[in-house]
């Protein structure tokens, strides 16, 4: 099992700061991937990210609301068919170009 970020995500970024295995990254480009995403292959299911989310948008996979079950696959797809960790390169590039953090709204 893994933890999953679902559509209530407001891209706060606090979850990233506490993840011991660095498996949470912001979706990029943001208009296509509007949340943060958890790599299910890397997540160690420690739960450190859960209390950091200001809108309760991170849950263990088995505790997701029924209408959010699709987000388990969406999180995995971000890493298998989407930009995945290459999205971090986009964030770094945006930060350099704009001289600021890009991961928070």
43-49-52 Cα angle (round to 5): 170
- More confident of the two residues 102 and 33: 33
Question: For the chain, which domains are there?
Answer: 3-98 (3.30.70.20)
DSSP state, residue 44:
-
Looking at the chain, the whole-number percentage of residues with pLDDT higher than 70 is 93
Alpha-carbon distance 83 to 90, whole Å?
A: 9
pLDDT confidence bin for 101, thresholds 50/70/90? low
CA distances in angstroms from 65 to 7, 14, 61, 83, 103, listed in the order given: 11, 22, 9, 26, 26
Q: Is the pLDDT of residue 99 over 80?
A: no
Section 15-38 average pLDDT: 94
pLDDT at 87 over 90: no
State the pTM of this model: 0.84
Per-residue pLDDT, 94: 74
Spatial CB neighbours of 7, under 8 Å, sequence gap ≥ 6: 35, 57, 68, 71
CA angle 23, 58, 13 (to 5 degrees): 60
- What pLDDT does 93 receive? 79
Tens digits of per-residue pLDDT, 43-57? 999 999 999 999 999
């Amino acid at each position: 099992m893994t933890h999953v970020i679902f559509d209530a995500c407001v891209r706060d970024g606090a979850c990233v700061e506490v993840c011991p295995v660095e498996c949470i990254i912001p979706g990029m480009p943001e208009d296509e991937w509007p949340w943060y995403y958890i790599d299910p292959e890397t997540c160690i299911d420690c739960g450190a990210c859960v209390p950091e989310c200001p809108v309760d948008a991170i849950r263990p996979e088995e505790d997701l609301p029924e209408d959010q079950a699709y987000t388990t696959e969406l999180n995995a797809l971000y890493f298998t068919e989407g930009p995945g960790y290459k999205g971090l390169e986009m964030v770094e590039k945006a930060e350099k170009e704009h001289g600021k953090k890009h991961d928070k709204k």
